[in-house]
């Protein structure tokens, strides 16, 4: 086997001739801004560095017929007519970064490879993904692949940094894209899911940083074994009716529900600690907030707003501030008796225009405050803005 040392920067046909007899290259190969239509390295067997193929405007096909091992990353970017990446005998990629190749529809991938540094595919025309055997990855990123009808990573158990899945279709009314993460156990950074359908992650137990689910089209969101989220847990702009987190005990930063128009049943029965803020805003179908029975501590403030007619935080021991704003009839005096010793308490019943702030300090003339008194209190104390965090 002939080994060639150093890096190769390929921009002309003459540059290719220097590589023709190389079976192993110890450095990097960079192929950029060329005029070729087809690109092949017929003798290359092993590449110890990276293979960068970027910005080749006429390139339609990449063919590496003998390549078996690429220790570094295959980086393919900005080849606007590229349709296929063919590596039929490859056994290992150190990393795969494929982006901004809008006509790309097929990628050969090692069928038995179980670990990878980076797996990132975005801005392609792919309709299906290869049959992954990947179990471990540093980073996984899928975004802006508008023809993918599903994203399947059925063997993936651990992502040590970020797992980002973004589903975007060109159709005006696209079908929801299911996400299969059935063996995933831990994410060492963020888990972000945007614009997708059913999310299956039944064995996931730990997320080191943020969990963000946004614009989700499924009717139910289940994380059946998730125990800890180290950062924020954010559910935003989604269609699910039920958000089910039966085993979650700790959110390290904030728990945020924003503009989930159909959400009526958030279920967090084992949650004991929220490190910073607890906020419900724009989730107008949440009427009963009674499945947070284990919540003891909110590090900063709880700001709950919606069609609330019952809030039960029976285990709550400590929060800096608790604000309840209901657009239907709500028993603010009863809530004040329960929570005023545990948090700086505010309650606003919009249906009857009743406002309570630190209830034990208000006159005992009865629960009804007339509009003039409410307006005066809200204006004088500058609390209009504080009711919405």
Could you tell me which of 218, 126, 220 has the C-alpha nearest to residue 176? 218
Average pLDDT, the chain: 88
Residue 117 pLDDT:
96
What is the predicted pLDDT for the residue at 371?
33
pLDDT of residue 277: 97
Dist. CA 363–CA 161, nearest whole Å: 54
For 84-118, the pLDDT digits (tens) are 999 999 999 999 999 999 999 999 988 889 999 99
Residue 386 to residue 330: CA distance in whole angstroms: 19
Residue 383 in this model has a pLDDT that exceeds 50: no
Structure confidence at residue 52 (pLDDT): 97
Is residue 357 scored above 90 in pLDDT? no
Q: Residue 8 in contact with residue 30, Cβ under 8 Å?
A: yes
Q: 169 falls in which pLDDT band (50, 70, 90)?
A: low
- The fold adopted by the segment(s) 1-134 is 24 nucleotide stem-loop, u2 snrnp hairpin iv. U2 a'; Chain A (3.80.20)
Q: What are phi and psi of 302, to 5 degrees?
A: -110, 120
Both tokens assigned to 174 = 């696209």
DSSP code for 238? -
What would the pLDDT profile of 19-67 be if each residue is shown by its tens digit? 888 999 999 999 998 888 999 999 999 999 999 999 999 999 999 999 9
Burial class (CB in 10 A: 0-12, 13-18, 19+), 259: middle
Look at residue 359 and tell me whether its pLDDT is greater than 70: no
SS3 380: helix
* pLDDT at residue 225 tops 90: yes
- Model confidence at 17, in pLDDT bands (50, 70, 90)? confident
């Amino acid at each position: 086997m002939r080994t060639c040392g150093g890096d190769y920067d390929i921009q002309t046909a003459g540059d290719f001739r220097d590589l023709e007899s190389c079976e192993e290259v110890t450095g990097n190969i960079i192929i950029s801004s060329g005029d070729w239509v087809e690109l092949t390295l017929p003798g290359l067997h092993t590449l110890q560095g990276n293979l960068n193929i970027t910005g080749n405007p006429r390139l339609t096909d990449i063919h590496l017929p003998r390549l078996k091992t690429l220790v570094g990353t295959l980086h393919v970017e900005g080849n606007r007519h590229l349709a296929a990446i063919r590596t039929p005998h490859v056994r290992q990629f150190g990393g795969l970064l494929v982006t901004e190749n809008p006509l790309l529809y097929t990628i050969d991938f090692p069928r038995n490879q179980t670990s990878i540094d980076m797996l990132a595919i975005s801005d392609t025309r792919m309709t299906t993904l290869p049959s992954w055997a990947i179990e471990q990855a540093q980073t996984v990123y899928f975004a802006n692949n508008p023809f993918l009808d599903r994203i399947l990573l059925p063997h993936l158990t651990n992502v040590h940094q970020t797992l980002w899945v973004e589903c975007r279709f060109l159709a005006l009314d696209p079908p929801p894209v299911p996400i299969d993460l059935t063996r995933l156990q831990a994410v060492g950074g963020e888990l972000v899911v945007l614009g997708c359908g059913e999310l299956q992650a039944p064995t996931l137990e730990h997320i080191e940083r943020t969990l963000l689910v946004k614009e989700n089209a499924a009717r139910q969101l289940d994380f059946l074994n998730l125990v800890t989220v180290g950062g924020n847990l954010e559910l935003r702009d989604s269609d699910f009716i039920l958000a089910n987190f039966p085993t979650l005990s700790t959110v390290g930063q904030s728990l945020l529900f924003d503009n989930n128009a159909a959400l009526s049943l958030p279920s967090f029965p084992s949650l004991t600690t929220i490190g910073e803020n607890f906020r419900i805003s724009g989730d107008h179908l949440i009427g009963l907030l009674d499945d947070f029975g284990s919540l003891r501590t909110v590090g900063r403030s709880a700001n709950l707003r919606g069609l609330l007619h019952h809030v039960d935080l029976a285990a709550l021991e400590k929060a800096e501030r608790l604000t309840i704003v209901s657009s239907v009839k709500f028993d603010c005096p009863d809530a004040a008796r329960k929570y005023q010793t545990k948090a700086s308490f505010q309650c606003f019943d919009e249906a009857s225009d009743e406002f309570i702030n630190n209830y034990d300090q208000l006159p005992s003339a009865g629960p009804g405050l007339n509009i003039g008194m409410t307006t005066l209190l809200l204006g004088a104390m500058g609390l209009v803005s504080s009711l919405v965090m």
